[in-house]
Amino acid sequence: MNGEKNCKTLSAPVFPLIDVKGTVTDFMVWSELSREALGALRDDAAAQLDALRAENLHLDLTRGKPGLAQLDLSSGMLGVITSAEDCISESSLDCRNYGVLDGIPEAKRLFSDLLGIPEERIFIGGNSSLNLMFDTVVRCMLFGVAGGHEPWGRQGRIKFICPSPGYDRHFAICRALGIEMIPVEMTKEGPDMKAVRAHVCTDPSVKGIWCVPKFSNPEGVTYSDRVVEELASLKPAAPDFRIFWDNAYAVHELYDEHVHLADIFAAAEDNGNIDNVFYFASTSKITFPGSGVAIMAASETNLRHIKPILATQTIGFDKINQMRHVKYFGSADGIRAHMRRHADILRPKFETVLSVFERELGGCGIAEWTHPRGGYFISLNTMDDCARRVYKMAKSLGVALTEAGATFPYGCDPRDRNLRIAPSYPELSELETATHVVCQCIRLVSAEALMERA
Binding site for ligand PLP (CB under 6 A): 64, 128-130, 167, 212, 217, 246, 248, 282, 284, 289, 294
DSSP code, position 426: S
Contact 198, 237 (CB under 8 A): no
Residue number with CB closer to ligand PLP (287 or 352)? 287
Residue number with CB closer to ligand PLP (377 or 391)? 377
Q: Please, what is the minimum distance in Å from the beta carbon of residue 282 to ligand PLP?
A: 3
Is cis: bond before 151, omega within 30 of 0? no
Q: Rounded to the nearest 5°, which phi and psi values hold at 36? A: -65, -45
Residue number with CB closer to ligand PLP (128 or 187)? 128
Decide: residue 374, CB within 10 A, 0-12 exposed, 13-18 middle, 19+ buried: buried
Q: Please, what is the minimum distance in Å from the beta carbon of residue 115 to ligand PLP?
A: 14
**First vs last Cα of the chain: how many Å apart?**
31
Q: Please, what is the minimum distance in Å from the beta carbon of residue 222 to ligand PLP?
A: 13
Helix, strand, coil percent values for the chain (each to nearest 5): 45, 15, 40
Residue number with CB closer to ligand PLP (228 or 361)? 228
DSSP code, position 448: H
Residue number with CB closer to ligand PLP (220 or 365)? 220
Residue number with CB closer to ligand PLP (281 or 447)? 281
Residue number with CB closer to ligand PLP (128 or 352)? 128
Q: Please, what is the minimum distance in Å from the beta carbon of residue 284 to ligand PLP?
A: 3
Residue number with CB closer to ligand PLP (313 or 396)? 313
Q: Please, what is the minimum distance in Å from the beta carbon of residue 215 to ligand PLP?
A: 9
Residue number with CB closer to ligand PLP (89 or 129)? 129
- Can you name the residues that pair with 243 across neighbouring β-strands? 209, 277
Per DSSP bridges, beta strands 180-187 and 159-164 are parallel
- Can you name the residues that pair with 191 across neighbouring β-strands? 186
Residue number with CB closer to ligand PLP (115 or 130)? 130
DSSP code, position 374: B
How far is Cα 110 from Cα 242, in angstroms, rounded to an integer? 26
**Rounded to whole angstroms, what are the CA distances from 153 to 145, 196, 207, 307, 391?**
11, 22, 11, 20, 37
Task: Return the closest-CA partner of residue 231 out of 173, 275, 277.
Answer: 277
Task: Return the closest-CA partner of residue 369 out of 383, 379, 359.
Answer: 379
In 193-271, the DSSP E strands lie at 206-211, 242-246
Per DSSP bridges, beta strands 242-246 and 206-211 are parallel
Q: Please, what is the minimum distance in Å from the beta carbon of residue 285 to ligand PLP?
A: 7
Q: Tell me the three state secondary structure of residue 445.
A: helix
Contact 279, 297 (CB under 8 A): yes
Q: Please, what is the minimum distance in Å from the beta carbon of residue 10 to ligand PLP?
A: 27
Q: Please, what is the minimum distance in Å from the beta carbon of residue 168 to ligand PLP?
A: 9
Task: Return the closest-CA partner of residue 251 out of 225, 202, 287.
Answer: 287
Q: Please, what is the minimum distance in Å from the beta carbon of residue 160 to ligand PLP?
A: 15
Q: Please, what is the minimum distance in Å from the beta carbon of residue 247 to ligand PLP?
A: 9
